[in-house]
Structure 1
Amino acid sequence: MTLPTELTELSPEQLAIIDLCQHFAKDKIRPAARAVDEADTEVPWEIWGEAARVGLTSFMLPEQYGGGGSTDMFTQCLVQEELCVGDLGLGNLLTANGFFAHPVLELGTDEQKERLLRPLAGEAPPMTSLAVTEPDVGSDAAALRTHAVRKGDRYLLTGRKAWISNAGASEYYIIFATVDPRLRAKGITAFVVHRDTPGLTVSAPWKKMGQRALINAEVTLDDVEVDARDRLGEEGQGFIGLMQTFDRSRTILAAAATGVARAATEYAIQYANERRQFGKPIIDHQAVAFRLADMETRVEAARLMTWRAAKRIDSGRRATRESAMAKLTASETAMFATWAAVQTMGGWGYSREFLAEKWMRDAKLEEIEEGTSDMQRMIISRSLRDHV
């Protein structure tokens, strides 16, 4: 499957990083995918280190902080798709520091950017986490209950965060808390907290259905003392930074979902051409051929919607609606394509001998994280209220 580059000419730099990602996905990511899945709650530090050495964990950071300078969403989506063709969980892990970096770039001071971002571009970068979700608060970020109380030039953070990616492995966390629950969105404020800060504790990693390369755990804050210099932006600016981060993260996750859907489609097409039944390749059976046609078509559609959202963000326009559409389409395409690959392969698809069943488990998270598919539909439906 080739990218529809007739729609937009790729630069030499973009072609080079795509080539790098394709080789890394084939040579490093795909061969490790099953072992990482079996290990379940173990951080794949070896692959993290290998990716860092070739610049794949920091390609999205500005050059002035030592990164690769691919700050545009379109290039980031090209990279994410290729890495996630190798493996969805590992692809999402390797680019996770980009989610941490965006609020720092949007809200941070020059000193904070230099202090927090430059280490991410090193040969042995730390892992980082965004801590938004809470046990009783899902997609309604304005209703966060984690509380930040000002005490002179410091804040005391108290609350619980759930389903935090890389929790326990991360060196830094961006904690989103409210300075006043009555203010809802206008009270949300972002703080950078080091993992060794007294009062911050992390649960054991949770055992999950899929995407096990990314460990998830609960983070508890018990009067965690944070210096005001580690607040990102002013009080109440966190929600704006969070919404901008969500537009970008939804688009990146759409590219990731497109990647695993593409992997499943390519896998199923190869199997259907090689597997014979009733004396001919099963791709000659109409039911199989039509299923493969649906897979191929949906992957292309998901990619184009992802590219549209990315291009809109890069043009400086709001992309909440477009990123929601991209994530909805791509995540449900990923679930369909991985199911269809298992279905096409029959018993072999159900076997752990092949990766199809793993991809199906991995794909389910794409319909849940950063807002469920129902949440994406809600975002889109709200945009229709004033539509003429």
Structure 2
Amino acid sequence: MPLPDAWELTAEQREFVRLARDFAATEIRPRARAVDDAGTESPLDLWKRAAATGLTDFMIPAEHGGGGVTDLTTQALVQEELCHGDIGIGNLLTSNGFFAAPVLALGTDEQKERWLRPLTGPEPPLTALAVTEPDHGSDAAGIRTRALRDGDHYVLTGQKTWISNAPYARRFVVFATVDPGSRSRGVTAFVVDRDTPGLSVGPPLRKMGQRAIVNAEVFLDDVRVPAGDRLGAEGQGFAGLMRTFDASRILIGASCAGLCRAALDLAAAYARERVQFGVPIIEHQAVAFRLADMATRADTAHLLTQRAARLHDRGLRVTAEAATAKLVGSENAMFATWAAVQTLGGAGYSQEFLAEKWLRDAKLEEIEEGTSDIQRLVISRALAAS
């Protein structure tokens, strides 16, 4: 069930929401179970159909061939609708936006055109953002992948893990350090082509949920990257990454709001039809109160996401607000999907319904791009500094 928005939407926003909602209902939701069962295969045919409708590049600026929806408010509305269909597939379809974000934040005009233009049109490649390492997940400042200057090139050496889209990606934004031990001061970003000698990708990692996006390790063995493929100056990568995370955490909140709504819709529909002790279970107080909690949490996730997005679009610093949107959205999604399984009972535990899949999917959002503990730390630091 779509939630009424607290703010008036523009005609363009309503059109994008309608497009995403229709695609989610007709294309995404019917494929959710089969994609989950496939395990380690992304639905590339669905990616191509989404690209043909503009749903894979709507967030790319119009001057580089994209849909020109650069405000995070509209992006979050679209993300929520796609993830109401299926959060794993929805996140896949907008994943090139995560590659584009540091390019837009740090790149020159020439670099933006060179790397963003190919992401538009009916057959765009998949891309990847390579940050996480085996010993450094949420601590992006501590990455150890080394970037050593060698004339007009850099030589990258290191290992990345849990990189989304890695088996399919044609280009990577790789974060490395030019000054080991200096933490954030040395972090620098590079765009690396898939075919560059020394870059290799491991086998797909088997995951608990969100299997539409395939993850793998990326190995960098003396990978030579032209200095012209560095994004920004040496040491600017961490600031660009944090700006990327401010936006992406808001979009994660939007994804979770869509998942909350999906779980609520399923649980409420089942509760209206399922009869126990002579009445539909929606009339049982325990079930009714659980559904009320789900509705409240879905609304909260949506509103906090929209608040953060609208503040971001005003040019304000939103690190704490983005952390709040992600923290609340992800934990509400965990509750809503658990509550859906609980409401459906044995049917929820089976694969007859998507509730059990959604519960597995939701867990990722409490972990990726900074765990819930990290988000609480960000929020507490903001409170201490205020």
Normalised-by-shorter TM-score class: over 0.9
Change in Cα spacing, 1:2 to 1:168, as seen in structure 2 (3 Å) is: closer
Q: Distance in 1 between the 2:190 and 2:176 partners?
A: 8
1:232 paired to 2:234: no
Q: Deviations over 1:189-218 (max 9, x none)?
A: 000001111100110001100000000000
Q: Distance in 1 between the 2:52 and 2:385 partners?
A: 49
- How many percent identity over aligned positions? 65
Q: What one-letter code is carried by the residue in structure 2 that aligns with 1:194?
A: D
Residue 257 of structure 1 corresponds to 256
Residue 193 of structure 2 corresponds to 194
1:206 paired to 2:230: no
Structure 2 residue runs of 5 or longer lacking an equivalent are: none
Residue 269 of structure 2 corresponds to 270
Q: Deviations over 1:33-87 (max 9, x none)?
A: 0000000101210000000000000000111111111100000000000000000
TM-fit CA distance, 1:139: 1.2
Residue 362 of structure 1 corresponds to 361
Q: Distance in 2 between the 1:66 and 1:220 partners?
A: 32
Residue 164 of structure 1 corresponds to 163
Residue 184 of structure 2 corresponds to 185
After superposition, residues 99-178 of structure 1 pair within 5 angstroms as 99-178=98-177
Q: What one-letter code is carried by the residue in structure 2 that aligns with 1:2?
A: P
Q: Distance in 2 between the 1:256 and 1:300 partners?
A: 13
Q: Deviations over 1:208-239 (max 9, x none)?
A: 00000000000010000000110001111101
1:2 paired to 2:2: yes
Residue 343 of structure 1 corresponds to 342
TM-fit CA distance, 1:247: 0.4
Q: What one-letter code is carried by the residue in structure 2 that aligns with 1:331?
A: S
Residue 312 of structure 1 corresponds to 311
Q: Distance in 2 between the 1:226 and 1:248 partners?
A: 27
Residue 27 of structure 2 corresponds to 28
Q: Distance in 1 between the 2:51 and 2:8 partners?
A: 28
User: How many residue pairs get matched?
Assistant: 386
Q: Distance in 1 between the 2:65 and 2:343 partners?
A: 46
Q: Distance in 2 between the 1:269 and 1:4 partners?
A: 18
SS of residue in 1 equivalent to 2:170: strand
Q: Distance in 2 between the 1:217 and 1:248 partners?
A: 24
Q: Distance in 2 between the 1:249 and 1:2 partners?
A: 22
SS of residue in 2 equivalent to 1:130: strand
TM-fit CA distance, 1:168: 1.4
Structure 1 residue runs of 5 or longer lacking an equivalent are: none
SS of residue in 2 equivalent to 1:182: coil
TM-fit CA distance, 1:113: 0.8
Q: Distance in 1 between the 2:271 and 2:4 partners?
A: 24
Q: Distance in 1 between the 2:20 and 2:270 partners?
A: 24
TM-score by length of 2: 0.99
Q: Deviations over 1:137-177 (max 9, x none)?
A: 11111111000000010000000001000001000000000
SS of residue in 1 equivalent to 2:315: coil
Q: Deviations over 1:274-315 (max 9, x none)?
A: 111111110000000000000000110111111111011101
Q: What one-letter code is carried by the residue in structure 2 that aligns with 1:25?
A: A
Q: What one-letter code is carried by the residue in structure 1 that aligns with 2:149?
A: R
Runs (4 or more) in structure 1 with deviation over 4 Å come to: none
SS of residue in 2 equivalent to 1:384: helix
SS of residue in 1 equivalent to 2:189: strand
TM-score by length of 1: 0.98
Q: What one-letter code is carried by the residue in structure 2 that aligns with 1:84?
A: C
TM-fit CA distance, 1:328: 0.4
Q: Deviations over 1:77-133 (max 9, x none)?
A: 000000000001000000000111111111111111111001111210000000000
Residue 299 of structure 1 corresponds to 298
Q: Distance in 1 between the 2:250 and 2:94 partners?
A: 13
TM-fit CA distance, 1:2: 3.2
Q: Distance in 2 between the 1:214 and 1:32 partners?
A: 14
TM-fit CA distance, 1:4: 3.0
Q: Deviations over 1:5-41 (max 9, x none)?
A: 3x31111111011111111001000000000000010
Q: Distance in 2 between the 1:368 and 1:43 partners?
A: 21
Q: Distance in 1 between the 2:124 and 2:385 partners?
A: 46
